[in-house]
């Protein structure tokens, strides 16, 4: 009886594992071609707004990367992941630095690449548990395997939170600058990138002194990156 029970548990667990594995691979493959209109984070934010009895706000418009201003691509690569085109999803040097700083008792800082952030935004939820982080690694490997860098950047710029209830380049361009994403200037792109550590705290439409300093730093680094590599527009 015990052996039969263990066998049934084993078979059931195996089937669940295979289902989750195959369905996750299928989801990544489908989203290689299909626009991502909604993400788990958007749903979570809506529930948070309802819980806090706030007006539900969700602004999001999918826009192909060809209709997103080149400076915004440069700005997010500069501020978030300057080795985006070179790594395979993980910046091991930054991960090691973050680990060493944490071991030394310093403030924990993020070391997530654009690929990791995209995996989290599209397939997972916010949080710092080992389970969530492990799944982030798994989905990062999948999107790096199935998607091109161009597709990763396209999904990233369309799914990332860029303000309170604002998701993606087109939505933030319209809400904060009254223009389309392809019309964003270098300065506006740098301001948007400056908000990304905490887009609900920092507002690109009403930049603080800190954000203006960060904008200047990003713009300076954007110039240096352009001199090194002109290929970011050909992702």
Which CATH number is 69's domain given?
A: 1.10.3810.10
Does the residue 131 lie in any domain? yes
Which stretches of 31-129 are DSSP H helices?
A: 40-51, 70-80, 92-103, 114-123
**pLDDT at residue 110 in the model:** 58
For range 90-96, the mean pLDDT: 78
Does the residue 198 lie in any domain? yes
Residue 23: partners with Cβ closer than 8 Å, 6 or more residues away: none
Compare 96 and 79 and report the one with higher pLDDT: 79
End-to-end CA gap in the chain: 59
Q: pLDDT by residue (tens digit) across 174-185?
A: 999 999 999 999
Nearest by Cα to 225 from 70, 89, 104: 70
Indicate if the pLDDT at residue 108 is higher than 60.
no
Domain interval for residue 216: 38-228
Indicate if the pLDDT at residue 226 is higher than 80.
no
Does the residue 187 lie in any domain? yes
Q: CA–CA separation, 46 vs 44, rounded Å?
A: 5
Does the residue 119 lie in any domain? yes
**pLDDT at residue 234 in the model:** 47
**pLDDT at residue 229 in the model:** 44
**pLDDT at residue 104 in the model:** 57
Q: Pairing between strand 59-60 and 166-167? A: parallel
Query: How large a percentage of the chain has pLDDT more than 90?
Result: 69
Does the residue 164 lie in any domain? yes
Whole-model pTM? 0.88
> Residue 60 pairs with which residues in a beta bridge?
167
Residue 123 burial class via C-beta count within 10 angstroms: exposed 0-12, middle 13-18, buried 19 and up: buried
Does the residue 43 lie in any domain? yes
Give how many domains the chain has, as a whole number: 1
**pLDDT at residue 101 in the model:** 56
Q: Sorting pLDDT into bands at 50, 70 and 90, what band is 7? A: confident
Residue 68 burial class via C-beta count within 10 angstroms: exposed 0-12, middle 13-18, buried 19 and up: buried
Does the residue 103 lie in any domain? yes
Does the residue 224 lie in any domain? yes
**pLDDT at residue 230 in the model:** 40
């Amino acid at each position: 009886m015990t052996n039969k029970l263990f066998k049934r548990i084993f078979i059931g667990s195996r089937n669940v594992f295979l289902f989750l594995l195959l369905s996750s691979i299928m989801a990544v493959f489908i989203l290689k071609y299909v626009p991502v209109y909604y993400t788990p984070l958007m749903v979570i934010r809506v529930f948070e707004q309802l819980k806090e009895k706030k007006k539900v706000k969700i602004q999001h418009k999918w826009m192909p990367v060809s209709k997103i201003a080149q400076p915004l691509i440069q700005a997010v690569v500069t501020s978030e992941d300057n080795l985006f085109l070179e790594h395979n999803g993980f910046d091991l040097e930054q991960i090691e630095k973050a680990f060493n700083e944490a071991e030394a008792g310093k403030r924990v800082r993020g070391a997530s690449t654009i690929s990791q952030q995209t995996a989290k935004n599209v397939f997972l939820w916010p949080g710092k548990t080992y389970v969530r982080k492990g799944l982030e690694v798994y989905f990062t490997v999948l999107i790096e395997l199935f998607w091109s860098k161009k597709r990763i950047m396209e999904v990233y710029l369309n799914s990332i939170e860029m303000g309170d209830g604002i998701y993606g380049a087109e939505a933030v361009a319209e809400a904060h600058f009254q223009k389309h994403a392809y019309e964003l200037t270098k300065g506006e792109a740098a301001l948007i990138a400056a908000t990304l550590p905490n887009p609900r705290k920092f507002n690109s439409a009403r930049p603080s002194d800190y954000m203006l300093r960060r904008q200047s730093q990003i713009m300076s680094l954007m110039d240096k990156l352009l001199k090194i590599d002109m290929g970011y527009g050909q992702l």
